[in-house]
Amino acid sequence: MLWSIHRNKSTYVSRDLHDEVSSKLSALTMNVHFLKKNNLTDAERTEISEYTLQACHLLIESTRRISHNLMPPTLEYMGSHQATTELCREFSMGGQLIVNYKNEIEDQMFDSFNHENQVHLFRIIQELINNSIRHGKATEIWLTFHDFKSFKKMEYIDNGVGMPLEIIKQSKGIGLSNIKARSEIIEATPFFDPNFKKGFRFELTF
């Protein structure tokens, strides 16, 4: 069980490394091999050098992005409540989506979470909102945290088209799989409500 959790934790970084960093390193390797050829004209050598330099810049940006994703600055320096507030505000700024966030006890809600688990919870929220936008076509979202003393719960609702039961059961899509895997890591229980008729509803109990 523990090995499985650690494997899941590394999956997200591994995917980014494979999809972005690995591909750019392969391109750099090819360019370096081309530059070693003796029959290149000066113009060709200059062009390949420029492509190589551009690939280096893109590689640096990808590495920065992956590092940033491990611990967002607002989460690191301001805590989960403020980071979630800013996230909901950012998604609402365009005017096409309204994200309503309610958490009456603010940072006390996350006292039991270490920094790593706070990141996983933050990524779950991000993934839910992204799914509501891309797949649910939602225009309004309600994100609410409840404190029931013996346990805590996050409730997420949108007014989009909803999610078919077969997709929920089969965990189709990387996003849905990531939500379930991250929930397991933070030892929380996810619940995708199959009977919700007016959009999409998700609960996370921890």
Asked if 65 and 77 sit in the same domain, the reply is no
The gap between the terminal CA atoms of the chain, to the nearest Å, is: 18
Asked if 78 and 61 sit in the same domain, the reply is no
**Residue 18 structural domain:** 2-70
Asked if 124 and 23 sit in the same domain, the reply is no
| Contact in structure between 158 and 140 (CB atoms under 8 Å) | yes
> Which pLDDT does position 75 carry in this prediction?
85
10-residue mean pLDDT series, the chain (206 residues): 46 61 72 80 86 79 66 83 93 87 95 90 91 89 94 96 70 71 93 89 96
| pTM (predicted TM-score) | 0.68
> Which pLDDT does position 6 carry in this prediction?
46
What is the CATH number for 131? Answer: 3.30.565.10
Asked if 107 and 199 sit in the same domain, the reply is yes
What number of other Cβ atoms are within 10 A of residue 74's Cβ? 17
| For the chain, the helix, strand and coil percentages under 3-state DSSP, each to the nearest 5 | 60, 15, 25
If one counts the domains in the chain, the total is 2
> Which pLDDT does position 2 carry in this prediction?
39
> Which pLDDT does position 155 carry in this prediction?
98
Asked if 56 and 92 sit in the same domain, the reply is no
> Which pLDDT does position 142 carry in this prediction?
98
Asked if 181 and 162 sit in the same domain, the reply is yes
> Which pLDDT does position 5 carry in this prediction?
43
> Which pLDDT does position 103 carry in this prediction?
97
> Which pLDDT does position 170 carry in this prediction?
59
Asked if 121 and 162 sit in the same domain, the reply is yes
- How far apart (Å, rounded) are the C-alpha atoms in residues 52 and 59? 10
Which of 45, 70, 95 is where one domain is finished? Answer: 70
Contacts 24+ apart (CB under 8 A), 100-107: 100/140, 100/141, 100/142, 100/143, 101/143, 101/144, 102/142, 102/143, 102/144, 102/145, 103/144, 103/145, 104/145, 104/147, 105/145, 105/147, 106/81, 107/79, 107/80, 107/81, 107/82
Which of 70, 96, 111 is where one domain is finished? Answer: 70
Which of 53, 70, 87 is where one domain is finished? Answer: 70
Asked if 134 and 180 sit in the same domain, the reply is yes
Asked if 51 and 82 sit in the same domain, the reply is no
